[in-house]
Structure formats: C-alpha cells, structure tokens
Amino acid sequence: WGWLCDRGRFNFEAVNSDHRLSATLVELEAGLTETSWNTALRAAAGMVTDALAAGGPDSIGLLRGARGSNEDAFAWAQLADALGITHRDAQLGDGLPAEILGFDRATIDEAANAGTVVLLGPDLKEELPVLYLRLRDAAEKRRSRIIEFSSVESGMSPYAWRSVRYEPGAQPTVVERTLAEADIAEQLASGDVVVVAGRPNLAESADATLASVQTVLEHAPGAKVLPALRRGNVVGALSVGLAPADADHDALATLTAAAEGRIELLILLGADPLNDCPDADLARRAIAGARRILSIDTFACESTQHADVVLAASAYGEKSGTTTNLEGRVTALAQQVTATGTSRPEWMIAVELGLMTGERSFGPDHPLRGVSNVTDVTELISSSVPAFDGVTVEALEAAPNGVVIGAVFDPPAPVAFSAPGRNSYDYRLVVSRKLYDRAVGTQMSRSLVHLAPGSAVHVHPLDLDAIGVDEGSDVKVVSAQAATVLPIRANASIPRGVVWSSFNQGGGTIEDIVDARGATTDVRIERL
C-alpha cells in the first residue's frame, strides 16, 4: 500500500482496516474523495453520456476481472448491449478464446473417469488444484492414462502416462506427431477421451493451444473438452454476455484501442489490467491513454488509483446469486455477512447506472427496469439466455450439486498456428502462474501474502553455465519489446533453450517484456 500513500490519491476514510473499498469515490482537485452514491452515479452516468457523444459506443470498453456472480455479469452485459458497447471481455488476454466453450464439454467427473486425459494446459497443481487432485487420483488408481503436453515439468508430470515436452511455438506440431504414434493412437481408441485445455504459457499465443485441441479432436472425434480457465466465474461471465464478438474487440484489442487514444471511457469491473494483463507495457499505455476510467471494485487495486470514479462493490459472501464453474455447472451463492460500508452488488450498480442514463440504455420496456432483487435477475437469465434455460431458482434449490448449462457458443473455426524459428542466441520464454502471486485476493490476506515465491528466471543448469553467471545473480532479460532485471536460478526441470518465470510476482517483472500479441516471446539473457 506504499504506492497509495506516496501518491496521496485516496482518502483513506473510504478504505477500511482490511483495505476494502467501503464507499464511493470521485476525482476532485485533492484526488479521489469520498462522496454519496447519488453523486458518484451521476458522475459515472455523465462519463457514459460524454463518451457516447464524443466517440460513440466503440469508444467505451468494458473489462471484467475475477470476481462477481452470474447476475453481476448479466446486468453489465445487458447495459453494454443497450449502449451498443462492443469492446468487452471477461478475460484480460490471459485465457483462451470464448469459443473453447463451443466444444462438446466434459464434466470434471467425466474427466476423472475417462480412459484417456489429454492435458493441454497450465500446471493444474498451481492454477486449478482441486482438478489436479481429481486427475492425480484417477492416474494413481489407474482409471485414466494422462498424456501431458507441456514446455516445462508440471505437478502432473510424475503421474502422467506420457509427458511430452515441446518448445513454445511448437505445440501443435508436437501434438500432431505424438498422436500419430501407434501406442498413443491405440490408447485414444481404447475408451473415453477428455481434453483438458487451458493457457499453458502467457508468453505464447492462445492460438497454439486452440490449434492443438482441434488436432486432438481430429485424432479422437468423440473426445470432450474441459476448459481449464483459471479466473473465478469466467465461464459464467462469458456465457451470459460478456464474451467479445471477435478478436478485434477482446481485452487485448480494448487495451490497444485505449493505448492509441480511441477509448473515451474504460470501465473496469473488478479488473486490474496493470497486474492481470500478461503485457504490462500495453496495460500501462492503456490506463494512461483512456480519457476516463470508471472502476467498480471490492479492493483498491493498482489500476483503481487512476480512476475518475470508483464504486464500491460487495464481496463474495456479502451477496446472493449464482456462479458457474469451468464445467458449466451453476450453483447458488448465499449471502453470509453484511456488506462492507455502503458497497453494493455489481448487478445493482449496473441497473442503477442504466436507469440514470435513461433512454440511451434501459428504456421503459427494458426487462431490467422491473427487477427489485437478485432473484429477479436470476430468473431473467433463465428466461433470456438459452444456455441457462431451466436454471431457475426452484431448479437450483432442488439440485444441491447445481445445474449444468447447455451449449453457449459454436465451436471455433479451424485455427492455423505457426511460430517463427528461434535463433541459437535466444531463449524461448514460458510465463505461467503459481498458486500464490500478487493478486488482490492474496495481497489482502494476512495469511497468504507472504506465500508468493517472488520473481526470478529459471534455466537449465547447463544454460546457466553457458551464460556464465552464478546462481542467484541478477541478469538482464531482453525481448524485442523491452528489458527487465531479475535473479536467475538453475532448474533441471527446465529444458535447454527455454527460460521460465512465474507471473505477477512483483520486483523486476517478467510481464514488462511480454508481447501479448506475439506468437511467442524470445529473450536474450545478459550479464550485468
């Protein structure tokens, strides 16, 4: 919190002892200052109106973070639809295209009982530990054989029937070649196949994984796909209307438009691009380039300090509603504690903002004009979103394990992915997440904040010798985009020619040198 104190941007009377936002804030001459909800909402509505007048709907961008219910996402999607906002996304360039949900989807139970599990994703032990435990149990009890494709060793590697390494950029080629082997083909044909698909490398294009999934489905046409998307309720948010229409309007496109001065109003719905986007340079330029910023959040994050208006959102446990897990299972949320300060659920904020913008958004016939509680919004989702047909309050009460939604998207069109070759002087970068990092939820927890391992680059011991530096020394890591300084570690589990670093650990940041639009990121390592 030193950055907040040093810059003097916040009135701390609006932030409680747990660093929660407890009231609304507006930018005045003295900085962000506490005000009433009516004043803050009028200011927010004015920013929306001004943005529409200055640049039209395409000049507004809406980015959602990891928190929030289905009802929250639906209300904001409805507001975006009413205003004509096309720049929207529930991911921050760190996931897979929403069309991954268009494949025939597996449940977690199906994955844990499939004859073969093809793992094309991150280190599940670090990113989705419960799923990791289910699949590890399946492997140990020999219900399933796991075929893992990864650039570096993962927590699942010791339990995999086959663990295949590939250099970033070569995943589709290696998958194609491996699945053509006789013993692999025989295994795929022996029973049910589930593909667990997630983002294994934030320094590599998501198209590499999408192309690899399609390759597996060509070899095993009856396979199902379990999307391993890490963000909380990202599947729900994408499913109820916050998915981008195409790659020209996703999170990276929105941030690019903001960086180029084409975004009049950037709405951050529990989103912190400065810490969550893999391309830190793009995020910084976007925050600086957006004319106005509206932040709706539970905690004051790094991006929040740049907002013109901040609206305090209720946290998990402070509101009711529903959520959707990665297999598409909708379950109920129950409010357990009183909301902090004057914070409100995000769906309520969206409705109030829509009403304040009048005919531009929620006209007299708009269904959200008549909602009075979260149950009304739940029923509205059930009646207006085809995939949620039947996910009523009554159905949820009768199904303690939740209700699985139907298909949301069409399967993606065939993806052709290729990456340029790597010269012998460079290393190919892998950036992935650890269980604990500088995410707001971790930083605000006194028991978790010290568990993040910190920043470093890891290389094979022989590569460390070739660089000519000692273990733990600071080195300069240079990409085509930028450079950063980090300590270097020897790690025998890292293949030669590859350098691995964990995401969002602070210190010298690996995110500074990642080009999120590139096929891969190649780096040089220089002695200081």
Report DSSP letters for 227-289, one per residue.
EE--STTHHHHIIIIIS-SSGGGSHHHHHHHHHTT--SEEEEES--HHHHSS-HHHHHHHHHH
Task: Please name the helix (run of DSSP H) or strand (run of DSSP E) that holds residue 173, with its range, or none.
Answer: helix 171-179
- DSSP annotation of 314 reads P
- DSSP annotation of 435 reads S
Rounded to whole angstroms, how far apart are CA atoms 228 and 132? 11
Rounded to whole angstroms, how far apart are CA atoms 71 and 185? 44
| Contacting residues for 401 by C-beta, under 8 A, at least 6 apart | 329, 331
Rounded to whole angstroms, how far apart are CA atoms 310 and 307? 6
**Residues 422, 426, 431, 437, Cα dihedral to 10°:** -170
Residues constituting the chain? 528
Rounded to whole angstroms, how far apart are CA atoms 231 and 180? 33
Rounded to whole angstroms, how far apart are CA atoms 242 and 201? 24
Task: Please name the helix (run of DSSP H) or strand (run of DSSP E) that holds residue 369, with its range, or none.
Answer: none
- The distance of Cα 83 from the centroid of its chain, to the nearest Å, equals 24
Residue 20 has a pLDDT of 82
Rounded to whole angstroms, how far apart are CA atoms 265 and 292? 5
- DSSP annotation of 468 reads T
Q: In the structure encoding, which two tokens stand for residue 350, read together?
A: 């969206």
pLDDT tens, residue order, the chain (528 aa):
222 323 334 443 454 445 689 999 998 877 889 999 999 999 999 999 999 999 999 999 999 988 899 999 999 999 999 999 999 999 999 999 999 999 999 999 999 999 999 999 999 999 999 999 999 999 999 999 999 999 999 999 999 999 999 999 999 999 999 999 999 999 999 999 999 999 999 999 999 999 999 999 999 999 999 999 988 899 999 999 999 999 999 999 999 999 999 999 999 999 999 999 999 999 999 999 999 999 999 988 889 999 999 999 999 889 999 999 999 999 999 999 999 999 999 999 999 999 998 777 888 889 999 899 999 999 999 999 999 999 999 999 999 899 999 888 999 999 999 999 888 889 999 999 998 887 777 777 778 878 888 899 999 999 999 999 999 999 999 999 999 999 999 999 999 999 999 998 877 789 999 999 999 999 999 999
